[in-house]
Amino acid sequence: MIIISRVAETSKVKKSARPVNALIVVDVQNCFINGNLSLSNGPAGQDGGEVVPIINNLIRTIPFDVIVYTQDWHPWNHISFFENLHFRRHYLAGDQNRTIKMFDKVTYLGPKYKTKQVLWPVHCIQGTEDAALHKDLDVISSSNRVVHIRKGIDPDVDNYSAFVHNNGTKNSELHKKLKERNVKQVFVVGLATDYCVASTAFDAFNLNYRTYVVQDATRDEETKKINQ
């Protein structure tokens, strides 16, 4: 996997390579810009909205063969919500009566899967404004060139990656759709670098796509870095 520090370097890669390219725009949603999980309120204090004009510039100036837009798209009873802990406490590993706080990491032993989970505030509920793509993001309407992936739909397992559930139990349609379009090379941008962008990029790399992360078109939740 290759980290591209600036958007300008993306066009150089495009000119020097002939494979089919996809831009994967990860979770540029109201939630992470000015909503329930705004990055500006996170430890890194970064402004997720800053990526919007940068991503728009990529879309407008580089002729990507495929553009993928992903969205967190959770049901109200999703496993990732701290507010739903009381529904699932009897599935906790360890002392089920211990004090657990928002943003703690726990292990659930059921109901369907054993899975490790960060407990986030309620966010990106299906069909809400919080879950919508940001209004200023360029969303291309061409049907064959564009792929929309909604993730985190199963109430019992989370999805950071656009490719696979966090516990590896199920793949999304993204790999299939990219293969149908003969994509060989992907550029990953969006929110947040240290969670959904990183997970998507690592899975793309492991699926044998030549993978680039455009660093100035991403923002962090906790300032963790992706290792090349």
Question: What amino acid positions are annotated as catalytic residues?
Answer: 27, 151, 196
Residue 222 vs residues 188, 225, 226, 227: alpha-carbon distances, Å: 18, 9, 12, 15
Burial zone of 101 (CB within 10 Å; 0-12 exposed, 13-18 middle, 19+ buried): exposed
C-beta separation of 192 from 185 below 8 A: no
Burial zone of 32 (CB within 10 Å; 0-12 exposed, 13-18 middle, 19+ buried): buried
The number of angstroms, rounded, from the C-alpha of 222 to the middle of its chain's C-alpha atoms is 15
d(CA 176, CA 47): 33
Query: Within a 13 Å sphere around the CA of 101, how many CA atoms are in the beta-carbon half?
Result: 1
With tokens 């550029």, the residue in question is: 187
The angle at the Cα of 204, spanning 203 to 208, to the nearest 5 degrees, equals 110
CA-nearest of 70, 95, 91, 69 to 79 is 91
